[in-house]
Amino acid sequence: MTANSMDDAAVTNLQNYLRIRSVHPNINYDECLVHLRGQANELGLSVQEFEPVPKKPILVMTWEGQEPTLPSILLNSHMDVVPVFEKSWKHPPFAAEIEDGVIYGRGVQDMKSVGVQFIEAIRRLKNQGIRLKRTVHLSFVPDEEVGGRQGMGEFVKTDGFKKLNVGFALDEGHASTTEEYLVFNGERSIWHVNVICPGKSGHGSLLLPDNCGEKVRYIIDKFMDLRQESKKKLENDPALTIGDVTTVNLTMLSGGIQSNVVPEKFTATFDLRLALSVDHKEFEDMIKRWCSEAGDNVTYTFDQKEHYVPLTPLDATNPYWLAFKSATDDLKLSIKILTFPGGTDSRYVRDMGIFALGFTPITLTEPELHQHNESLKIDVFLKGISTFEKIIHAVANV
């Protein structure tokens, strides 16, 4: 195949993958699995399928290395995409249409393009007759967009994952608006907390004691004050990014049955992303103190409470990093190290003591994760394949 025909085939592969409506909620992943099995068959890669949670399948393609007993390389991507508001799109979100060298589709940045780049990079390496020292696994997982706990979160606990013998993993990052490539070696801990503020119910015309509204106001004020502290940190230090601070957002406020009835409770729900510098015990003790100060019987529960997961080291203790950096240097890529602002499957892999980096080779592009009209320039997509070709070759020969 010529270079042009390989590029055309890669774009077609991406379009076909984008046209699969693996969109939340209630995803049936069967069409994804059929497509990916076909790709593995074309590449001559073996396939394993796992289902640690019913209807949450995981497909792993494997290219065995020359020294298969060495720790392997994992190239991870997720099959699922977030919902769409179809009327707000200029192109149908699952048509993968191309206009002026730009491909539009839900998941084209987050992160079906990366999954296809992995596949196409392996295809090109194999077409050159290259053999790698370490085994390379390509994993395609479900449910990352709803937290990944029933996808990679369960998979890493299984014997099937342990037998992959992973030493280093690559997963998603996000697009960069500049020429710098963004590399993420850690993530903040996600806490979703509900603060329950009970009180005396009664008629809306009275000033009853033990009022749930007063209690929830105190709680909201405390969390919003903390939010302001983080905003000031970012404003006062341009070197900081959103991943360097604790973010606080009030995401749900529930309670009440009628406009003239004081309810018996209000519940405030907060999305918290704890900076890596935060002591988790001290932070929870602070929440406990706020609840005590707010009034009688104020309590809290967690929908999600992640523990601290160490950063992947970027020094001589991590030979995969040295290989990754050598490859990007050879490609003359300018890279910037950051803490990922959201949550990816990398945190589950790092929690197993495995080195992992988040890296999406998309530059000079506005990040459009979860947005209307998610898009990607075709030339940027194709350049990313060549970038991964170099990086995979380097890390798999450590």
Tell me the Ramachandran region of residue 324: left when phi exceeds 0, alpha when psi lies from -120 to 50, beta otherwise. alpha
**Angstrom distance (rounded) from CA 121 to CA 134:** 16
Please indicate whether residue 154 is annotated as part of the active site. no
Q: Do residues 368 and 82 lie in contact, with contact meaning Cβ atoms separated by under 8 Å?
A: no
Among 80, 187, 244, 306, the one annotated catalytic: 80
The number of beta carbons lying within 10 Å of the beta carbon of residue 194 is: 15
DSSP string, 165-215: -EEEEEE-----SSSSEEEEEEEPEEEEEEEEEE---EETTS--SS-HHHH
Tell me the Ramachandran region of residue 234: left when phi exceeds 0, alpha when psi lies from -120 to 50, beta otherwise. alpha
Q: Report the interhelical angle of 212-236 vs 280-294 (nearest 10°).
A: 140
| Residues facing residue 269 across a β-bridge | 194, 252
Please indicate whether residue 80 is annotated as part of the active site. yes
Among 120, 143, 144, 374, the one annotated catalytic: 144
**In angstroms, how far is the first alpha carbon of the chain from the final one?**
30
Amino acid identity of 106? Answer: R
- The residues carrying an active-site annotation are 80, 144
